[in-house]
Amino acid sequence: MEESAIRRDILCSCEREQAVGETPASARNHSHLPRLSREYYQGWAFIHWTLAIKNRMTGWLDDAFHSAFRECLAHTQHRYRFTCPTYCLMTDHVHMLWVGLAEDTDQIVAMEFFRRHLKAYLFSACWQQQAHDHVLSAGEREHGAFESVAWYILNNPVRAGFVKEPRDYAYSGCLVVGYPELIPFEDGFWGRYWRIDHSLRRKYRGNPLAHARGYGETGEGKAGEGEVEL
């Protein structure tokens, strides 16, 4: 299937689940950071998450933390059914793009799980009380616009003066469980990512038990290489 057709199918699924755009003030919860109504974080939501470190403490980011981050993110993805096409770990905060895959995906619950299991690896540092989120609007999910959000995240180390090119930064990338070869700086990444995303969405729509299986890019709702037959 052509990439443009895949994107249209994904966007239609999102629009059926949620109409993100102009959001009335009554839809927000002001008890902590501004938060949309719960349904905006469920299903096929596209969300840019930012996790800040309390008091902007540094010194926790190293190769060991990066490995722990990827392990915790992989467990969270498998449990709550989403992908992370882009992430970037900065010295005092973390950026991630999460894309929901199933009707019962709940990114609020997933984020609570992720933060709880990763906090031990921060050692003396700790998360701020609440993760900041930006639920992408319909326009931001369109072809080209979403990729621009991803590149904005990946360019954080360049803007900070850490590296000259995004690909030179050691603590950024992509994580989709079952696809360790996905690298957002390589040619053809987005076409391959959207094909995988489309395949996984079809699987979860067609099989309510699919979340109990491994990920596989079959596109037909059947067990593929690396999957476990139930």
What is the rounded average pLDDT of the residues 17-21? 40
In a domain, 228, yes or no: no
Domain count, the chain: 1
* Structure confidence at residue 220 as a pLDDT band (50, 70, 90): very low
**Confidence check: pLDDT of 169 > 90:** yes
Q: Which two tokens stand for residue 97?
A: 């793009």
Q: What pLDDT is attached to residue 32?
A: 60
CA angle centred on 86, ends 84 and 87, rounded to 5°? 95
- CA dist 87 and 98 (Å) reads 9
In a domain, 25, yes or no: no
In a domain, 23, yes or no: no
CA angle centred on 75, ends 142 and 114, rounded to 5°? 75
In a domain, 229, yes or no: no
The predicted-structure confidence for 136-159, as pLDDT tens digits, reads as follows 999 999 879 999 999 999 999 999
Q: What pLDDT is attached to residue 217?
A: 38
In a domain, 114, yes or no: yes
Domain at 137, CATH number: 3.30.70.1290
In a domain, 220, yes or no: no
What is the rounded average pLDDT of the residues 9-37? 49
CA angle centred on 100, ends 22 and 219, rounded to 5°? 130
- CA dist 131 and 115 (Å) reads 9
Burial class (CB in 10 A: 0-12, 13-18, 19+), 40: buried
The predicted-structure confidence for 51-72, as pLDDT tens digits, reads as follows 999 999 999 999 999 999 999 9
DSSP assignment, residue 141?
G
* Structure confidence at residue 207 as a pLDDT band (50, 70, 90): low
The range of the structural domain enclosing residue 83 comes to 3-15+31-212
- CA dist 192 and 189 (Å) reads 5
In a domain, 20, yes or no: no
User: pTM to 2 decimals?
Assistant: 0.78
Residues 132 and 107 sit within 8 Å (Cβ to Cβ): no
At 155, phi and psi to the nearest 5? -90, 0
Hey, how many other C-beta atoms are within 10 angstroms of the C-beta on 208?
11
